[in-house]
Structure 1
Amino acid sequence: MAMNDHSNITILKEIAELLNEETEMVPMLKGALCKFLNGTNFSTGWIFFINKKGKSELVVHEKLPDALEFNGCQYLKNGGCWCVSRFRNDQLKKASNIIECQRLESAIEANVGDTDGITHHATVPLQSGGERFGLLNVASPHIESFSDEELELLESVAFQMGSAIKRIHLTKQEQEMALLNERNRLARDLHDSVNQLLFSVTLTARAGIEMSEGQEIKETFKEIQQLTQEALTEMRALIWQLRPKGLESGIIDAIKAYSEMLGIKLTVNVSGVLQFPSRVEETLYRIAQEALNNVRKHAGVQEAVIYMTVTSTDILLVIKDEGRGFAIDPDVTIPSIGLQSIRDRAVAIGGTADWVSEIGKGTELLIRLPY
């Protein structure tokens, strides 16, 4: 497949413009891949992200033949292949021809659809500096080996993509840091103003009880003290949610401290090594917070049990109480805002959240998170 230098420059320019304009990862990569395929003789392509543990994820694909698109890209998502193995072993440094691809071979052998003559593909790592993100793979019908010129163009596109991926990662880190700073500011403001005011009201109510002679007046002050104390507990819980204290000592200690603040006796059972990325750790902590809040507000008990099991790929978090429970209406997808928040947090990082509950028999939350 002959390629023109002028057209190559045009393709690289258009892709660079798109990568600079986009701010969302998947639309950016999909758009860049589409432009690359439309401007060259390559007919199809797909991108894997590969994490530090070597787990691959198909994030983008374009113009796949029916066999590769079968059942949600089953044969691209599953199984091993030379390119991913070489990437994991840090042996893939530049664009290369793939002599054999197990994923393609599996799709061909399964006879689940037309492969459009695709039997081989080229691969190139997506990286920026010392950071590696995944692979860009492209293919054409009846082509087993691509020219040096084609591989050089593929490398140039991969370099642009790697730089753009790095930029988006940095932008998201900056956004997360800005959000964390805003949470900390709000938590400080709430602590210094509303929290202190509520504490003052409780002291005033206590003084009113001691100074009053009439029983009705004493009861009124007692009610004020009780309501204010409840509001103070709610405010402290909110401040904890805004600014998680104790995570520097470990997630288990942080969860225990939060349960103590709520007045809940917590039993914790842990299996596996608790070493998570910061985002996963905070998600676990937020979910545990919300679950414990639900116990305090709705379960009618002051005890709960947490089981945390860690495998090489997943975290299973189970939170149980023996409280009043609730009836699960099959017509209502999410029974409460608190449970909706838990599920949203789990789904946001690729996990799942489910629950089992029955009136009078307590509630059990089951959270599974990848990491």
Structure 2
Amino acid sequence: MLQQNQALEEANRTAETLLHASAQFASMMEQDQVVDTMFLQMRLLVEYDIAAVYTLESPEWIALRATWQEGRSQAAEPGSVVGINPQEFPALLRVIDQQKSHSIADTLQQARPFHHLEANSPRGWLGIPLAAGGKVIGLCEIGRFQPTAFSQDQVRLAEGIASQAAVALQNAQRYEQVRESRAQLKTLTRKIVEVQERERRWVAVELHENLVQKIAAILMKIRYLGDKLDQNESVCPGFDDIDRELSFVFEDLRKMAINLRPVILDTSGLSAAIRSELARLRDNHHLRTDFSESGRLKRIPKEMEITLYRIVQEALANVTQHARAAQVGVSLVQTENRAIMLIEDDGVGFSLNKLDQSTCLGLIGMRERAEMIGGTLAVESSPGEGTMIRVSVPLPESGAAEG
């Protein structure tokens, strides 16, 4: 009876350990966390002195990702992962090829070399495949420094932990791949935006310094000639038409240059550029506008100024195209370590769950711009309640170079 109770208690402890391990693995997205947890949970069920985890990179290469010894785990340093050819170590190769655990009671009886860490090689050894989705993605080995025959129960328990860890490890690998891809995409997008801004600045300067100035000079000459010929009624109307049409062209080119890259952004900074944009909105669309700023009121890095200005441009364009607003306001707050910008309108608003394509793409573009400089963008809106866009970006530490 006593033995039955002890066996039942042991079975309950084992079940609790497996359930606890499952819950832990389910919440993990980092490979190192998964491996550490596997070492700890496996040792609660099977005693060992040394352990290691490998990931299968190719049929000719497995990578040593982490080891466990003397009560602690050690992950391989990035850029210094040890690569091993399993073809040179039959015990490792057998576990991978057969996708089955393999136990050796005394490795000294095996052909040499048995282990890539020959000086620290275990005597009793157990290799367990790490398989997920019917595919081996690596293997785990545990060992004792004394000859040890791992029992079938111990093998089964180790496999129970390893099977859960393998799924978590595969998920962590996929998450890491997605994260790396997102980082690469963000870097590429940032470079594209930088090139666009350089091109915009060049075109804006060319328009303003070259074409606009030439048209201005032509207008002056036409008006001068018009004054000289104002007595000739048959000629003057023609000059008036040319004057008017060139004035329209001049104004269109001037606006184009400002939209491409407002000079005031480079010379006077973000606040002045936002005020200028709101003034243009007020004049062209007859909206009531408001701008406020508070905090440290210093120039922020040029890249951030450009990004925040482009977000304001896009947001105000959305107001004029979709919001049917009567009033729009922009506020800029600078703390020691953050810049926070709010863009609010009293327009018709919209449901965040039912966005049309143009609005959706505009918000995505603004959010991506904010994320490129390490910031966040949040939108609050509902039908009939207007819209608020909140942008928050980190500022460099005090004393850092400012744009």
Would you say same fold, with TM above 0.5? no
Q: TM-score of the superposition, structure 1-length normalised?
A: 0.43
Q: TM-score of the superposition, structure 2-length normalised?
A: 0.40
Higher radius of gyration, 1 or 2? 2
